[in-house]
Structure 1
């Protein structure tokens, strides 16, 4: 059995083009290239969306949970391809979503555990099964599609 591949924030920044306030993956716990990635997002009251969503009952927007899953999926795709990230002449796009469901609110202090497995890769169009959990409870799930294109 091989040692799991992990990534700290510096390794993530080398692979994803996202930056504050839109980088939504803090650490990769493990990657089994081509099979599964497990990552985490620490949700802090300091997130820029909480003052407006909602002032007296802060809840992480569902679309940002989906984006965190898509960023995690991108990291898995890069690991399956060559272990790197997109070069400066290409962009990894989130192109579709099916079956998105939100099961519980995500609030300040939560830690999202993001799990993504590939369903298929046809001609560079990847489809993934993705989940986000908090304390072992399902917070969100979806099938997401991503592709890499030249700029």
Structure 2
């Protein structure tokens, strides 16, 4: 079982920001291949009118990167499920570098995300990989660093200095 039900047991993302539909291959602690079908029903397209040009339907780069990062996090925590960000360990993105784009993605395209762990250090991982549409590379990520931290880091005991009240 590597569909949405399994994915939702591993990461806390839900609609509209769950951006991985299926995992087709996983070698625990090493590599993962995941897929995301881009459709015209995505929330990012709802503002487009009937007169929108084809290029207006290019999938936002931020969502493309987020979708790949979700695949990377799935690889990192494949054996450590935690769909509840209020308990246990949470995955926090710590950094990303070496991002290269290879061309636009449009509704009807199916993204194939490939992620590979480069290093595991304590409760952190460095992952790299790429995304493809029909064999065409649309994204490459040289290094994505994620850290697993206790969920208590998300809870603030007192307001930050200067924070709005």
| TM-score normalised by structure 2 residue count | 0.81
Asked if structure 2 preserves the Cα contact closer than 8 Å seen for 1:125 and 1:145, the reply is yes
Alignment size in residue pairs? 143
Cα deviation, residue 42, structure 1: 0.4
1:122 aligns with 2:117: no
- Tell me what 1:104 maps to: 103
The list of structure 1 runs, each at least 4 consecutive aligned residues, that deviate by more than 6 angstroms after superposition, is none
Cα deviation, residue 111, structure 1: 0.2
Asked if structure 2 preserves the Cα contact closer than 8 Å seen for 1:40 and 1:112, the reply is yes
Structure 2: segments with no counterpart, 5+ residues: 152-165
Higher strand share: 1
* CA deviation vs aligned residue, 1:123-142 (integer Å, no higher than 9, x gap): 22211112110000000011
Higher Rg of the two aligned structures: 2
* CA deviation vs aligned residue, 1:19-57 (integer Å, no higher than 9, x gap): 001001000001001111000000000000123479432
- Tell me what 2:162 maps to: none
Distance in 2 between the 1:94 and 1:21 partners? Answer: 19
| TM-score normalised by structure 1 residue count | 0.88
Aligned-residue CA RMSD (Å): 1.7
Asked if structure 2 preserves the Cα contact closer than 8 Å seen for 1:36 and 1:117, the reply is yes
* CA deviation vs aligned residue, 1:47-77 (integer Å, no higher than 9, x gap): 0012347943211111111111111111111
Distance in 2 between the 1:130 and 1:68 partners? Answer: 12
Structure 1: segments with no counterpart, 5+ residues: 1-5
In the TM superposition, 1:1-151 aligns within 5 A as: 7-52=2-47, 55-56=52-53, 57-79=56-78, 83-86=79-82, 88-142=87-141, 143-151=143-151
